[in-house]
Structure 1
């Protein structure tokens, strides 16, 4: 008890002071804690404001990580491609080396050419000097040359032209006559073929040739007669006076007989249809024969017809005969070919038709007559 009382007295004297000192330190610590809590609050507020930026940065970091991965993959692929293309790269390097050598060779040739160019410039300079001296000499010669009126006339008109007239066409009627005479003969043959019974026969049918001859003996004399009448009427009524009357009559007769043979074939084969086709063919020939305008002024399609239609050769032959120009033999030969070909074809038609009639078989002409086309 005595010790407890003594300890209590000591505790009262010493412990209270320590307790008061500890309480003061505790109070000071609490003040620091309060101040730290305010700083912590401010820091937390600042951290809270930076959280969106931190979140965006984390997102960009994630995307960058993905891009880095893709780039790494592409790098690996590119490395593989580079490895595979290494031989081609080596070949390209070798080609580049060869090209460098060629450039070096070209540079050497350019240097050589520059030397030749320099030599050429020297030669050009010498030539210019020679030209200058020659011009000066020529000027001296011109000053010393006779420049009278005769010399001036000679230089003004060094060539004398002489005109030689091959033929003469007195007027436009003689110029248009070859064209219109061909048309007249063609139309006359069409008209007579329509009027004359080409497919009828009297008595007993002997043969196709005899049948053809019975009609041809009328057609061809009529063709010659119409040619003579045409030329005679033009001469007597219109004053038609060709340079070669005999050749003009010959051309008219050959052309008329040729035209009649063509009409004979088509009219005999197709009846009125054949005559219609011949009328259409005449219109084609009017364009193809260039009877009114030269070939150079006609349509582009005319050149494909010009050399093939009979009118081309009848117009040319008439022109040569009327104007006493070139020979007409070539034109007459062409017309003769047409005459022979269509005569043979007509005889063949008559022969086939006669054979079918004797065999009592139908013919094309019967069908045409039934349909009013013959």
Structure 2
């Protein structure tokens, strides 16, 4: 019962450790997921910052474009003003040119009429050549004066027209430059507007990601941190130990009896083989069976008597109260005969060395038979040997007959088989040594 309680407590501690570890791992995973989501939120914030920078750059570019557009508009207005001035300057020249042209036609008409009159006069009045020459000289003088005036007027008109044309050309150049600036500014304005739209979309998407991640992470952290007092107790002590014994052992002496009974019977067999010579026959044996019959019955009688005395004294002095007394006593006899067969065989083939080896074997069985503590508390060496040790088998059987009440037929079968095997080996040993014994006795 004490061993079971200790084992149960150890199991409870181990399971609680596993559960606590699993809980902490789960919390760690939740916190890690929350951390990832917060990290994602940080990335989204970075993207939002990038988007804001893009918006700022777009705004700056748009401002620059607007400034360039304003400058182009100013230049265009200035060019249009110059064009207007050039046209205004050229307009009087065109008017004067028209008037000059009209005057020149009138003069040409007058001269034509005068020439016609001269022709008529030449035709009708040849004697008046002097008068005609004077008129011709007057007409030529009058033509030179008018031609000079016309040349001066044409020169002035040409200068005015050239000046107006230059002003108009300058205005057209300024207008073309302004249009070029306007086209460039419009293109840049379109690009800036596209960047601004893209940046706005990035900011919107980043804000959505941030909102979702922060909401999810906050919910997980809230759920993880929401621990009631009962949940905290379950986290620290998740296992409630409920102990139930399938059988009732009266006291510690009864619990230790199977182990000590097995040890006493094995030690008794070793002691008997050290004191009593199991090899030398009482008389010359006729055969190996005759030799076996002289020694082994006495071994079984003596060890049987020792097992009987032990069982009786346990009841009278130690007040051992077996659950199945008859089966306990019968298995005491079977156990001591099995141990005696094993110890005696090794003593026959190895002499005193065999007894010493059996003492070593008994010490090994003390650690590997699980008589005091569960075998699970021992190391792997004893756990491996445990099922094959004779004392392990006898202790399990005695526990069944003393307290548990389980069937012991598997243990009986094993021990009967060991008795038969080792007695056959002893017969073989006697058979091998029989010629040497007869030769020595001859």
Q: TM-score, normalised by structure 1?
A: 0.51
Determine helix, strand or coil for the equivalent of 1:291: coil
Q: Does 1:244 align with 2:321?
A: no
Distance 2:382 2:245 in 1: 29
Matches within 5 A, 1:94-105: none
Distance 1:243 1:295 in 2: 24
Q: Give the structure 2 partner of residue 343 of structure 1.
A: 423
Q: Does 1:304 align with 2:384?
A: yes
Q: Does 1:332 align with 2:412?
A: yes
Contact 1:244/1:324, CA 8 A, preserved across alignment: no
Q: Give the structure 2 partner of residue 261 of structure 1.
A: 341
Displacement of 1:223: 1.5
Displacement of 1:163: 9.1
For residues 120-175 of structure 1, the C-alpha deviation after alignment (integer angstroms, 9 at most, x for no partner) is: xxxxxxxxxxxxxxxxxxxxxxxxxxxxxxxxxxxxxxxxxx99853210000000
Q: Does 1:277 align with 2:357?
A: yes
Bigger relative contact order (CA 8 A; separation at least 6): 2
Q: Does 1:295 align with 2:368?
A: no
Determine helix, strand or coil for the equivalent of 1:323: helix
Change (3 A) 1:164 1:172: closer
For residues 267-310 of structure 1, the C-alpha deviation after alignment (integer angstroms, 9 at most, x for no partner) is: 11111111000000001111111111112111121121011110
Contact 1:289/1:315, CA 8 A, preserved across alignment: yes
Aligned-pair Cα RMSD in Å: 2.0
For residues 212-242 of structure 1, the C-alpha deviation after alignment (integer angstroms, 9 at most, x for no partner) is: 1110110011111111111110100011111
Determine helix, strand or coil for the equivalent of 1:286: helix
Between Structure 1 and Structure 2, the one with more helix by share is: 2
Distance 1:186 1:202 in 2: 26
Q: Does 1:181 align with 2:261?
A: yes
User: Larger Cα Rg: Structure 1 or Structure 2?
Assistant: 2
Distance 2:360 2:338 in 1: 17
Q: Give the structure 1 partner of residue 289 of structure 2.
A: 209
Matches within 5 A, 1:1-374: 166-359=246-439
Distance 1:286 1:204 in 2: 40
Q: TM-score, normalised by structure 2?
A: 0.44
Contact 1:208/1:355, CA 8 A, preserved across alignment: no
Change (3 A) 1:222 1:202: closer
Contact 1:224/1:253, CA 8 A, preserved across alignment: yes
Displacement of 1:325: 2.3
Distance 2:253 2:396 in 1: 16
Query: What is the number of residues matched between the two proteins?
Result: 201
Change (3 A) 1:222 1:168: same
Q: Which runs of 5+ in 2 are unaligned?
A: 1-241
